[in-house]
Amino acid sequence: MLIGSSYSLISTFNSWLSSGNILLNIAALIAYGIFISIILSVYDYLFGWAERKIIAKVQLRHGPTYVGKFGILQNLADVIKLLAKEHIVPDTADKFLYAIGLPAMMAISVLLVLVLPFSPYLQATNLTLGLLFVLVLLSFMPLFMFVSAYSTGNKFADISAQRSVLMMLSYELPMLIVFASVALLSKGFNISGIISAQSTTWFVWLMPIGFIVFFVTMLAELERPPFDFLEADSELIAGWLTDYSAPYYALSLFLDYTRMLFGSLIMAILFFGGWSGPFLPPIIWLLIKAVIISLFIIIIRTTLVRMRIDRMLKFGWVWMLPLSLVNLIITYMVFIH
């Protein structure tokens, strides 16, 4: 029944969007915005909790237990606490940049999720060059990270800012080349087109090297361990977030999980056939795939030691870049030529 009603909702949404009436168009977009916010907040909240619980299990601890059943309300309590705290802006900060840095990053990451299609009918837009748009937005990320780190005037944040540039140099190019090989394979930059190109075989089977490169670069993009140089808590205290207090810190937590949602979604879309799958509705398939990838990303955090930033650059240029090129060439030779 639920599935049926959601289908009817989606078809209503579609008819609104395709009708020429501008009011209906706006209503449809607002409805989609609400839908995305629900997905984002549920995912962010649940993964904030799940990460704590899973890591606690690996580390022979219990994790949150007191607030709510299985500590499910712990993150809510934390956010309320953070919002109630005093918001301290350091004297050394550039007030304007300090104010816009994190919100801009949050906006970009929400936009990134917004661009991705959730099902054949459930998408905000169907850009012809969707993948390219994603790439453009992604390359804004380190820029704003640099801005927000640099604006605090903290030396630890400064080191973090320098590291973010170094990181960008090391992972951006391999990632771009993998994007290119995906586009080559699906003969276009349209994201829906990429998913329909995988209706017979997932791209992960066609270019496993590309997937490995993409996964590693995505971990770096998301700043997840072992590439968490920017927030390296045992070295830089909290890196670029050192001087962000109260509400901004809460925002940074949401940002973390929003970016993780985007990372898992794009991996599911580019390599695991996106929404395609039997029986269940497409959006459920996409979310199942994204959740499995997210869990994998979380488990990696519990086991790996942080790399060193200078090794990261070497790793990016000596291993990732050649591997991504090899992947591109193989893709061209085998599947296109």
Partner 1 sequence: MRVVIDVPVRINVGPIHPSTHGVLRLVVDVEGDKIENMEAHIGFLHRGVEKLLENRMYMQACPYMEKLDYFAPMSYDELYVAAVEQAYGVEIKEKAMYVRTILLELQRIASHLASIGFLCNDIGQLFTAFMWSFKDRDMVLKLLEAATGTRMFYVNMRIGGLVRDLPPGFEDSTIELLDYLSKRIPMYEKYLEKNPVFMERNKGIGIISRDDAKNLGITGPVLRGSGVSYDIRKNKPYYVYEKLNFRTQVRNEGDNFARYKVRMLELRESIRIVREALKKMPSEGSAVGMPIRLIGPPVKNKITITERELPRGECMIYLVADPQRPYRAYIRSANFINLSAIEEMCKGQRFADLFSIIGGLDMVIADVDR
What is the identity of the amino acid at 252?
S
CA-to-CA distance for 179 and 100, rounded, in angstroms? 29
How many binding residues for partner 1 (CB under 8 A)?
35
Among 18, 65, 92, 126, binds partner 1 (CB under 8 A): 92
Using CB under 8 A, pick the residue from 63, 158, 277, 321 that binds partner 1: 158
Task: Kindly state the smallest distance separating residue 237's Cβ from partner 1, in Å.
Answer: 6
Binder of partner 1 out of 42, 310, 318, 334 (CB under 8 A): 310
Type of residue numbered 30 = I
Query: Per the structure block, which two tokens stand in for 160?
Result: 């973090």
Q: Which of 156, 171, 189, 215 binds partner 1 (CB under 8 A)?
A: 156
Rounded to a whole number of angstroms, the minimum distance from the CB of residue 261 to partner 1 is 21
Told to check if 37 binds partner 1 by CB under 8 A, we report no
Considering only the stretches 17-25, 118-126, 150-158, 255-263, report the one whose residues sit in contact with partner 1 under the rule CB under 8 A. Answer: 150-158
Rounded CA-CA distance 167/156 in Å is 16
Q: Which 233-262 positions form the footprint of partner 1 (CB under 8 A)? A: 233-235, 237
Q: How far is CA 109 from CA 119, 186, 257, in A?
A: 19, 25, 10
* Of the candidate residues 113, 161, 195, 232, the single one contacting partner 1 (CB under 8 A): 232
DSSP state, residue 259: H
> What's the min distance (Å) between Cβ of 336 and partner 1?
35
Q: How far is the CB of 236 from partner 1 (least distance, A)?
A: 9
Question: Mask: binding to partner 1, 255-294, rule CB under 8 A, as x and -?
Answer: ----------------------------------------
Compute the distance between CA of residue 113 and CA of residue 123 in angstroms, rounded to an integer.
Answer: 10
Owner of token pair 């927000």: 148
DSSP string, 59-102: TT-----SSSGGGTTHHHHHHHHHHHS--PPPTTS-HHHHHHHH
Residues near 107 by beta carbon (within 8 Å), at least 6 away in sequence: none
Q: Based on CB atoms, which residue is closest to partner 1, 5 or 303?
A: 303
Structure tokens of 191? 């994201």
Cα gap 68→71, rounded to integer Å: 5
Determine the interface stretch with partner 1 among 107-115, 125-133, 306-314, 319-327 (rule: CB under 8 A). Answer: 306-314
Q: Which residues here bind partner 1, judged by CB under 8 A? A: 55, 58-61, 92-94, 150, 153, 155-156, 158-159, 162, 225-226, 228-229, 232-235, 237, 301-311
